[in-house]
Amino acid sequence: MNAEYVIVGAGSAGCALAYRLSEAGKRVLVIEHGGTDAGPFIQMPGALSYPMNMSRYDWGYQTQPEPHLGGRRLVTPRGKVVGGSSSINGMVYVRGHAGDYNHWAEQGAHGWSYADVLPYFKRMENWHDCGHGGDPEWRGSDGPLHVTRGPRDNPLHTAFVEAGRQAGYPVTDDYNGAQQEGFGPMEQTVWKGQRWSAANAYLKPALKRENCDLIRAFVRKVVIKDGRAVGVEIERGGKIDVIHASAEVILSASSLNSPKLLMLSGVGPAAHLAEHGIEVIADRPGVGQNLQDHLELYLQMACSQPITLYKYWNLFGKAWVGAQWLFARKGLGASNQFESAAFIRSDKGVDYPDIQYHFLPIAVRYDGQAAAEGHGFQAHVGPMRSESRGAVTLASSDPNAAPNILFNYMSTESDWSDFRKCIRLTREIFAQDAFKPYVKHEIQPGDALQSNDELNGFIKEHAESAYHPCGTCRMGDANDPTAVVDPDCRVIGIEGLRVVDSSVFPRVTNGNLNGPSIMTGEKAADHILGRRLPASNAQPWINPNWRDAQR
């Protein structure tokens, strides 16, 4: 078994890499531990709460007890299936803000500024504005990844955007275009009523080529000889084999599994590897460090009119939605229901948005538990640029052991003040006239909780991961001792080895990470092939009053 390029992980970045490298005539082998993505639970957008909670599709990781969240262990789903986390995520499509990528470049990820990455976002997209406005100049029209908008039939979606306008915030037609800041429609990776995962967009077309193959196996480590990666050790059917890579091994195994594989292979913090009896091949103290994520809360309101999705939250309703989807790919099952969004700045002096909203016309938890109140709606809200950093470390030298994951959430004072601000700003939005016909009362946190201490208690108990882990193999200057990969995604100190996934992000981007992860695969493929798209001259919108006003 051998290929030129062996890609570990058929997730968001790995699928894009497989497509672009095989398109260029390279022999590519993708190794994925998980199984098929066939079946309604994955392919039906409205069923998104199911695959994330199914051990068949998820690695089943959870954090160590988080010290600042009362010792809670938070679930950390990662896709163990063809398509990776793009097959189990919420299908929300956000590029991130120009300021995020300019910050990457300032941190040593040269060539990854917004001007450099925008052409790749355009190349990957097949954007359907569906007559809703938006910004065709900034968008791509013939890429593999279909990006659409939900129908926004529910009046609550309009009420949310109108309430934002009434509260004094900008409105934006396209947060993925020139202007992220403001309230407007949300975008989703859904096409013709079906989840448009990286597997559907990239891997399945790539596998039709003779020079691209997929095998199911569990990768135990990278095989490194004389300072060069020559293949990977795999386990399948109870046997251990080596698959050889004549050109490169590329880890696209997630921000949790890529650093784990590096450490098992002898690349990582020397003292930590020695603790586990692993021979140190390259001492890279940054491997597994710099772990970050987005935390969020949902503020839930009881609705005074029976217009929410709760009316389908019963056996008959779910059967009806499921049947409509199965036979026609239409109806509520054809959308992820995240159809309105907002990005706002938390304060004056903040130059670009640092708070994100997902709006949902039902009051329900990620695990599918509806609010006891019945009809309701909710806004998911959280700060985008927390300063808290955690780590992924080895629990054992046994490849089958899950890694130790500690995000160290809420470890800075600013995290708490930022979250309290999120709650208070959201309450203000829900108090606008646009919501007057619909708001009955606040379910969660509840009007009784007002003081800083009361809100802190609520945050400690109810903050949840938005499932955006990244940063554990940080990209930076090749001379930076804390960087893991250089700006070509090559592991510093080892030949023939790259990491290409959200691990390499120096800092978490604004919003959901699927879009930036796919872009990373797209762009890294060009780095490997020795070519680049020309940089963009487009100038994104920055609020002219950002120094003096919060809105």
Q: How far is Cα 458 from Cα 446, in angstroms, rounded to an integer?
A: 10
Q: Is 78 exposed, middle or buried (CB count within 10 Å of its CB: 0-12, 13-18, 19+)?
A: buried
Q: How far is Cα 500 from Cα 416, in angstroms, rounded to an integer?
A: 33
Among left, alpha and beta (phi > 0; psi -120 to 50; other), residue 511 is left
219 belongs to an annotated ligand binding site: yes
For 61-102, the DSSP string reads EEPSPBGGGTTBPPEE--B-BTTGGGGTS--B-----HHHHH
267 belongs to an annotated ligand binding site: no
90 belongs to an annotated ligand binding site: yes
Q: How far is Cα 413 from Cα 415, in angstroms, rounded to an integer?
A: 5
Phi and psi (nearest 5°) for 508?
-60, 140
Phi and psi (nearest 5°) for 538?
-60, 140
For 20-45, the DSSP string reads HHHHTT--EEEEESSB---SHHHH-G
176 belongs to an annotated ligand binding site: no
DSSP reduced 3-state for 277: coil
Q: How far is Cα 203 from Cα 490, in angstroms, rounded to an integer?
A: 23
Catalytic status, residue 157 = no
Choice among 157, 375, 380, 468 that is catalytic: 468
91 belongs to an annotated ligand binding site: yes
280 belongs to an annotated ligand binding site: no
**Rg for the chain, CA atoms, rounded:** 22
The residue among 499, 61, 508, 507 whose CA lies nearest residue 284 is: 499
The residue among 202, 256, 251 whose CA lies nearest residue 6 is: 251
Spell out a b/e string for 163-184, using b for 16 or more CB atoms within 10 Å of the CB, else e: bbeebebbebebbbbbbbbbbb
Q: Which residues contact 59 (CB under 8 A, 6 or more apart)?
A: 77, 78, 79, 80, 256, 257, 402
Q: How far is Cα 145 from Cα 191, in angstroms, rounded to an integer?
A: 9
The residue ranges of DSSP E strands in 433-520, in sequence order, are 439-444, 464-465, 497-499
Q: Which two tokens stand for residue 435?
A: 């919501």
Binding site listing: 81, 89-92, 219
Binding site listing for FAD: 81, 89-92, 219
Task: Please give the positions annotated as active site.
Answer: 468
